[in-house]
Amino acid sequence: MNESEKIDLLSLLPEELEALLLSIGEPKYRARQLFPQMHRGLSPEEMTNIGKATREKLATRAFFFLPTVRRKLVSALDGTVKYLFALRDGHCVESVVMKYKHGNTICISSQVGCRMGCAFCASTIGGKQRDLSPSELIGQIIAAEKDLGARISNVVMMGIGEPLDNYDNVLQFLRLVGHEQGLNIGYRHISLSTCGLCDKIDRLAKESFPITLSISLHASDDETRSAIMPVNKKWNVDRLLASCRSYYEVTGRRISFEYTLIAGKNDSPDAALRLANLLNAKLRSPADAVTFPIHVNLIPVNPVAETGFSASDKQAVERFASILEKKGIRATVRRRLGADINASCGQLRRAEEKKDS
């Protein structure tokens, strides 16, 4: 069998592994041996409870691959670890592990590059190369756990790429990562960040994954938002907030908003007031004025050479936050972890690709 036609073992659920095993004349109970061990980072060749003949048969039809560490940067300031992982075809993606008191959180990538075109973002500059497979999504977590020798308890899909533009693979990833025989990470410990693909948000609401949704809003009026986020021309602010409201109503899961503050673009007191009024009007009806939890995460924009944007100063950020708070919206300013290793996603991969080309 041609290498490219082989089945990717780490993308399969136990019942799918069973079907594969049966098709090569192996008992299906072997899925219970393979699945948990692969999710701890062992390849079938390393599994002592699986005989050589079985492993060889498996290798004719399928492969096991974990992302390999191409580069690893550790922050001297806060211990944040940034990985540049190489994939089977040589493409690279970034993942970042942040250490908090309540455990380790990993930020994973969902695509090689991105086609959403946000004006401030490094990941989209070269466009999208390809989607990540379910095994490459979960492989970032397994490879990081293996390298660190530590468990990861929280996952945020906020790295390179737009997760909802890779919907089916992200869904299979969610089934894998929450599986009790595998990493068994609870859906409440997983959040997915999207620039606002409304059709997919609506679809996600109907699946039974109670994950936290994080919406990259960045502007509250269509003119400003369309200028920095092309996706707004397809799904505008009103439509996006309608999807948010219904996601909350269907799943009961809170939604948080990301708002990147760009000096002179979206950081004025007027912009803060407009944002607060809009969120209150669209997401809270008088009946649930207090209960609808709205959380805005303010992120001073990370300067990317090609974009020419600069971050709002501290005073503008604090003023913006206090206007939101006065209107009953919880606002936090994103703590910059790993500032010394340029931990925000997209830039390390770009540096690597420039070097290769």
Among all residues, which ones are annotated catalytic?
94, 345
Pick the closer one to ligand SAH by CB: 152 or 262. Answer: 262
Min CB(258)–ligand SAH separation in Å: 4
Q: How far is CA 20 from CA 2, 136, 218, in A?
A: 17, 20, 45
Pick the closer one to ligand SAH by CB: 35 or 247. Answer: 247
- Quick one: residue 61, left, alpha or beta (phi over 0 = left, psi -120 to 50 = alpha)? alpha
Min CB(262)–ligand SAH separation in Å: 8
Pick the closer one to ligand SAH by CB: 158 or 323. Answer: 158
What DSSP string describes 202-253?
A: HHHHHSS--PEEEEE---SSHHHHHHH-GGGGTS-HHHHHHHHHHHHHHH--
The footprint of ligand SAH (CB under 6 A) covers 118, 120-121, 158, 162, 193-195, 216, 258, 260, 299, 301-302, 304, 344
Pairwise CA distance, residues 184 & 190, whole Å: 11
Q: How far is CA 275 from CA 18, 224, 236, 257, 333, in A?
A: 51, 12, 14, 11, 16
Min CB(160)–ligand SAH separation in Å: 7
Pick the closer one to ligand SAH by CB: 145 or 258. Answer: 258
Which residues are paired to 131 by β-bridges?
A: 111
Min CB(220)–ligand SAH separation in Å: 15
What are the tokens at 171? 């869904």
Contact 256/193 with Cβ under 8 angstroms?
no
Min CB(166)–ligand SAH separation in Å: 10
Min CB(43)–ligand SAH separation in Å: 30
What are the tokens at 200? 């997919």
Pick the closer one to ligand SAH by CB: 138 or 299. Answer: 299
Of 244, 237, 176, 235, which Cα lies nearest the Cα of 204? 244
Pick the closer one to ligand SAH by CB: 120 or 248. Answer: 120
What DSSP string describes 158-183?
A: -SSS-GGGGHHHHHHHHHHHT-TTTT
